[in-house]
Chains A and B, each alone.
Chain A
């Protein structure tokens, strides 16, 4: 590929092109529709992997920047760029979508389903790549439309309720952010001299009065807190996750929630460093409450999918903890954990979806003894579950451990409480595993079909990623760390925050693996 090829723009526009093509093709050519969806999503996935391979790991700034004027009278530009914070989220998006498109059958209306999925991919890509506040908002908000239709059109019994709740909840959060974005640009004009929504320009050149910055930060934080979701704004999530079709749940957990945590990094810490430091105790506390609450709530669930949904609340709590502990290690861990959670929870939702396909129930009480009839399926579930728990050697451990060790230095007591969440995760997941897979299968479960080749191939991709990052996280860490260090420096130089000096993660030969 040529060096000046606008790869980031292509990552956003290709899925849109695919969706348009699918819309044009007649309903009669269903196979053609599937081929188009596959070609475009795999193409985007391939490009994102190429991006990963050619990414300069030592460079902490934005790479592959693409900037064009868009709405000149408001100072809005099509400004895209990727750095260590967004790189892996882009790759995760690029990988997850083709897997969902290839691996999950929506059962009806394939054409519309695939078109919405591709549009969703474009929106998610755009959110992770935008370096313009206005552009970011557009992608952040437009994502709601395809997701709304995916949940509402292909979900389960209470899908319309869940989809509407999801849409309105998130839109309400965004309403505050929109006012915040406009106010940020308008107020920054005093320092910059002209109206611009450019993230980098505002973050580097504008400074806000203490209280103003705090208000602006809060307006952004509400939107992100709904999206993550942070306790107590999480109530849309269990409904949306449970009612969404399997593919929708995978995407929702895998990448959509990360738009919130990513937003905190990119538009919270980077844009309003002083205010983020000010809000640190509140967000740390909410994160820890989320970890404990999510774990307890997950333990109480009788629906397997709802259990996984609540486990997301707990996992995302860890990520938020790492973000607002603001140390190099905790932030690196958070970025990594965003990807890990996407892989392992995405895989869990896939597996729960497969159980539902076979048994038409997700009630834990109605499932038992699956291990004896479907050992391979059970083994796959076990590995994915252990990754979610954070067992050493698998990916979840690396991220969680980095978060805890990083946070311990700047947020000791919060971290101590949060660490108990790791044990709770083991409790609810292992208990669920025990109830569903152990014991003697009753009549209904004795015919539980073993994993098919297609399902197996799909899950193998996830397990491969889980194993690789668990054993050899270095390639990932060395790409994340420079950008994260730069972000921490930015926070330190723009606020009175003193980051604890932490050793480099990657520089040490065995740094993160010898911890336990």
Chain B
């Protein structure tokens, strides 16, 4: 064969990229037009963000439908996998972006600091998240991780008037960079051992070779480092210490976005690496995930109890939720388990719950975005009964009270765990959930059973109202009719190798 004059790159199926391109177009529009046209109509930036995300959402929904009869495929020389799993995660992330943009608009209007930068960062972080959930190659995954993380560092530090915000951005940046290094080192070691950075390629190599001569230890260390790197991102204990400070310091809309989209992306990546790439090594990673899950559910629930700041409480409760997702992931390490589907189910429901909860915190956090102590919630039922009721629904859902989506998500994960015979883990998780329930009760007590500390008017921005209403409605609808969501998440499968 004659040498070709041109280098053959992979063919580019642009259609598959519509979600990412749409977000990218939104980012460029915001930055370009935003700097050229100084004054935009009220909430104009939020509209652009919302529209470009909606396009991405619709494209994903169409893709989900088209995937109905085949199980998805890989593109760009197999580095991107578009399958039901990644599409479901993308849809969840897009929803989080829309919710995040709504909350951001309310926040910026109140701060009198409307501008395109934060929206653009929101979109770029979403691009990173979308890359992460679809990445079938560890370097691409790392790129997605960095795009997501760098945007989040900036977003966390974006409130220049609050020292805590600066501190949280810096803390997140330093610790996040540290964990990224772990991740990258893990990728290098795994490449050294298996000769591939493709997740499905790693899976193939491992299924062909029961043991890799001389480099087994290298592989194991690599797996460990990957777990540390992603464990940091999903705030699994003992890699969780950044979470409360960052969640508390960051502007509330950013916290909400970080807690939902960031976690979805990191978990989706973790699940794909473990369940596809390291499927043959379940016996190596499953015990680690088991231990992480137990540590995470208990630490999250127990430490949540002693907090006095609602944002910190929600941070610890999000750690405990991460523990529950790890319970599902542990189950996924058993043959024939639906742990992957139930973990995704948990993530989707958790996204809605966490968005709604932080929206309410945002509504109450005052002009400085700092009034988030438990005492600020005192007597809320007397001041704004509807708001108190909505928060109660969301909190009870997080506690796992039946007829809410939160119960459905916990039930599904525990069912996977029991089906995999992980009884100890299932019982431990449920006991931890009871400990965690005390936290939600404390907030409920202060809202319903205590007298208001002040009777100043609470004005809730319409954009926040939308987030609250949608999330409460979704919580109850899924709680009463879980089948709607279960049918979808059950199909969350990976593209064939």
Contact = CB atoms under 8 A, between A and B. Distances in A.
Contacts of B396: 145
A171 B435 CA distance: 9
A282 interface: no
A106 B486 CA distance: 42
Contacts of B414: 178-179, 182
A172 B431 contact: yes
Contacts of B434: 168, 171-172, 175
Interface in A30-50: none
Interface of B: 396, 401-403, 407, 411, 414-415, 418-419, 423, 426-427, 430-431, 433-434, 437-438, 441, 445, 448-449, 482-483, 486-487, 490
30 contacts: A70-B483, A71-B482, A71-B486, A73-B487, A74-B482, A138-B403, A138-B407, A139-B402, A141-B401, A142-B402, A148-B441, A149-B448, A152-B445, A152-B448, A164-B445, A167-B441, A168-B437, A168-B438, A168-B441, A171-B437, A172-B431, A175-B431, A175-B434, A176-B430, A178-B414, A179-B430, A182-B414, A182-B418, A183-B423, A186-B418
Contacts of B483: 70-73
A186 B415 contact: yes
A488 interface: no
B160 to A, nearest CB: 40
A72 B481 CA distance: 10
Contacts of B418: 179, 182-183, 186
Nearest to B445: A160
Contacts of A392: none
B426 A179 contact: yes
Given A148-B441, A179-B414, A182-B415, 19 more contacts: A70-B483, A74-B486, A142-B402, A144-B401, A152-B445, A152-B449, A153-B448, A160-B445, A160-B449, A164-B441, A168-B434, A171-B434, A175-B430, A175-B433, A176-B430, A179-B426, A179-B430, A182-B411, A182-B414
A22 to B, nearest CB: 13
B30 to A, nearest CB: 42
Contact of B423 (A72, A160, A179): A179
A208 interface: no
Of A144, A159, A167, chain B has the most CB atoms within 10 Å of the CB of A167
Contacts of B438: 164, 168
A278 interface: no
Of A160, A164, A175, chain B has the most CB atoms within 10 Å of the CB of A175
Closest 6 CB pairs of A and B: A175-B430, A138-B402, A182-B418, A172-B434, A179-B426, A171-B434
A186 B448 contact: no
Contacts of A179: 414, 418, 423, 426-427, 430
A178 B403 contact: no
A19 B381 CA distance: 18
A137 interface: yes
Contacts of A172: 431, 434
B382 to A, nearest CB: 10
Main secondary structure of the interface of A (DSSP, over half): helix
Main secondary structure of the interface of B (DSSP, over half): helix
Nearest to A178: B430
A36 to B, nearest CB: 18
Contacts of A74: 415, 482, 486
A73 B338 CA distance: 12
A176 B427 contact: yes
Contacts of A138: 402-403, 407
Contacts of B426: 179, 182
Nearest to A141: B402
B131 to A, nearest CB: 31
A167 B401 CA distance: 11
Contacts of B441: 148, 164, 167-168
A182 B417 CA distance: 10
Nearest to A138: B402
A153 B486 CA distance: 37
Contacts of A153: 448-449
A125 B445 CA distance: 27
Contacts of A73: 483, 486-487, 490
A509 B144 CA distance: 83
A167 B402 contact: no
Contacts of B403: 138, 142
B420 to A, nearest CB: 10
A182 B430 CA distance: 12
A179 B419 CA distance: 11
B328 to A, nearest CB: 13
A291 B100 CA distance: 58
Contacts of B431: 172, 175
Contacts of B482: 71, 74
A176 B419 CA distance: 16
A317 to B, nearest CB: 26
A145 B418 CA distance: 27
Of B396, B403, B434, B437, chain A has the most CB atoms within 10 Å of the CB of B434
B201 to A, nearest CB: 33
Interface string A240-259: 00000000000000000000
A345 B396 CA distance: 32
B411 A178 contact: yes
Nearest to B419: A186
Nearest to A142: B402
Nearest to A167: B441
A311 B401 CA distance: 31
Of A159, A160, A164, A178, chain B has the most CB atoms within 10 Å of the CB of A178
A138 B426 CA distance: 18
A71 B411 CA distance: 12
Contacts of A164: 438, 441, 445
Contacts of B415: 74, 182, 186
Nearest to B430: A175
Interface string A169-195: 001100110110011001000000000
A148 B395 CA distance: 14
A129 to B, nearest CB: 16
Contacts of B449: 152-153, 159-160
A142 B487 contact: no
A138 B396 CA distance: 13
Contacts of B423: 179, 183
B448 A142 contact: no
